[in-house]
């Protein structure tokens, strides 16, 4: 599953900044997160995968 997430993240990172998926990745979300237990966000999991695999965003861009 980690490999699939990182592969998909690589596709997102290699897109141009004008692409909707790239704009959505960098878009701030308005509102507050609930006080209760937080739902796991996709970028949180991908960020953890990137750290564990000792990768950087540039690695996906220049593969």
Q: Average pLDDT, whole number, for the chain? A: 86
Of all residues in the chain, the percent with pLDDT exceeding 90 is 19
**In sequence order, what are the residues at sequence separation of 6 or more whose Cβ sits closer than 8 angstroms to the Cβ of residue 61?**
13, 14
Give pLDDT tens digits for 24-52: 887 888 888 788 888 888 889 999 999 99
**Per-residue pLDDT at 62 exceeds 80:** no
Q: What is the pLDDT of residue 32?
A: 85
| pTM of structure | 0.69
> What does the domain layout of the chain look like in residue ranges?
2-61
């Amino acid at each position: 599953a980690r490999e699939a997430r990182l592969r998909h993240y690589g596709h997102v990172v290699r897109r141009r900044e004008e692409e909707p998926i790239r704009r959505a990745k960098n878009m701030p979300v308005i509102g507050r997160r609930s006080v209760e237990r937080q739902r796991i966000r996709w970028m949180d999991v991908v960020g953890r995968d990137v750290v564990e695999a000792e990768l950087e965003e540039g690695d996906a861009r220049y593969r």
